[in-house]
Amino acid sequence: MPAIETENLTKTYGSLIAVDHISFEVRTGEVFALLGPNGAGKTTTIRMLTGLTRPTAGDARVLGFDLRRDLPRIKKHIGVVPERSNLYDELSAFDNLVFAMQLYGVPRRERGARADELLRRFRLEGKRDVPFARLSRGMRRALTLAAALVHRPRLLFLDEPTVGLDVVSAHGLRALIERLRGEGVTIFLTTHYLEEAERLADRVALLVQGHIVALDTVEGLKARVRRGSTVEVHLVGAAGEERLCFHGEDTEAALRLALAHAEAEGKQVVTINTLQPTLEEAFIELTGLSAEVMLAEKGSSNVA
C-alpha cells in the first residue's frame, strides 16, 4: 500500500491556482522530495495532505485512509514539521514535548521517559527546562522535529526542514532524517535546495506553478538530460598544465577526443574524470527555470 496517493489534487484561492491537478504516489518507507521554487505549491500540497486546508478538487489517500473522510485517523499516524518552528514560546522544551504527547494520547506513564529520550536523541537534554523562545534557531528546529515524533508516526511531513539553519545544524538535521528513513519512517519533504533533494530523496517530484513537471529517482531525472558523456582531463606538458572537458556520444568517444588532444599538444594525461549530469542540470532542463530561481528568494544554500 502506498503511503500517499493523490489524484488530480487541486487547490485554488479565488482565481489563483496554487496546486493544479497533481497526481502522484509516495511509496512506503521512501524519502520523497517535492522540489520547486517559492510559490510552486509545495506548502499548499503539504497543508492539503495533512488536513490543514481542504482541497478544492481531487482525491487523496494517506496511509490508506481517505483524506476527506478519515482525517482524524490520518492525523494519528502522521507527524508534521512545518516550515516555521511553531512550538509554544512560553513552555519549556520538555513541556512542549509532553503537551504534544497529551494531544496524541500517549499514555501518561510513558510521557516523561519519552520526552527525555527525544531530548537526548536531539542533543537537547541540557535545554530540558529552557523555554522554547530562548532556544537557538537550530535547537528550535530540532525540537519541532522531536515534537512531530512523540507519537512514533509512520509518515513524516517536513516542510523546508533546513531553511534558515546554519551549515552544522542543517547537516545534523539531515543526518536525523536519514536515520528516520533507516527506521522505516516514510518521509515526504519539500525543499528548494537541489543538493538536499539529491542527497536525501529516493524520488523527486519537480513542482512548478502548481504542476508536477517530472517525477523520478534522482538518477532517473539526471538520465533524462544525459545527452552523451563528458570527461574532464588534467593535462601536463612543457607549456604548463590545463584542465579540459571533452564531450562525446558516449564515454569512449569523449575519451578518444581527450587523448587525441593530449597527443596533438604533446601533453601527458595526469587524471581523467567522467562527469555526471547534476540534479541542477536536470532541474534546469526539465522545468525551464534556472537554479538561481530556487535560491534567490530564500538565501543561499546551507548544504555542507
Partner 1 sequence: MWRDDLRGIFYIALKDMRAYYLKPPNISWGILFPGALILAFAIRTPGDLRVLAPGLVTMTALFSATSMEAIVITFERRTGALERLMLAPITLPAMLAGKVLGGVLFGLAISAVVLVGVTAGFGLAAWRLAPAFLALLLSTAAFSALGALVSVAVREVFEAQTLANLLRFPMIFLCGVFVPLSRLPAVLQVLARALPLTYAVEAVEAALLGTPGWPMAFDLAVLAGFTALLFALAAVILRRRLD
Residues lying near partner 1 in the complex (CB under 8 A) are found at 50-54, 72-73, 75-76, 80, 82, 84, 86-91, 95, 99-100, 102-105, 147
| Distance, first Cα to last Cα, the chain | 35
If the CB atoms of residues 162 and 287 are measured against partner 1, the closer one turns out to be 162
Specify the residue, 50 or 287, whose C-beta has the smaller distance to partner 1.
50
> How many other β-carbons are positioned within 10 Å of the β-carbon of residue 181?
18
Q: Which residue number, 188 or 246, has a Cβ lying nearer to partner 1?
A: 188
What's the closest the beta carbon of residue 88 comes to partner 1, in angstroms? 6
As measured in angstroms, the least distance from the Cβ of 215 to partner 1 is 26
User: What minimum distance in Å lies between the beta carbon of 161 and partner 1?
Assistant: 15
Q: Do 19 and 188 form a contact (C-beta atoms < 8 A)?
A: no
Which residue, 73 or 152, has its beta carbon nearer to partner 1?
A: 73
Containing 230, the helix (H) or strand (E) segment is strand 229-237
Closest distance of CB 75 from partner 1, Å: 4
Residue closer to partner 1 (CB basis): 124 or 254:
124
Q: Which of 54, 63, 53, 55 is nearest to 20 (CA)?
A: 55
Query: Between residues 41 and 277, which has the closer beta carbon with respect to partner 1?
Result: 41
User: Sign (positive/negative) of CA torsion 155, 159, 165, 167?
Assistant: positive
d(CA 197, CA 177): 12
Cβ of residue 240: shortest distance to partner 1, in angstroms? Answer: 58
- The DSSP letter of residue 78 is E
Count how many Cα atoms sit within 13 Å of the Cα of residue 4 in the half-sphere of its side chain: 29
Least Cβ distance, residue 30 to partner 1 (angstroms)? 22
Widest Cα–Cα separation across the chain: 78
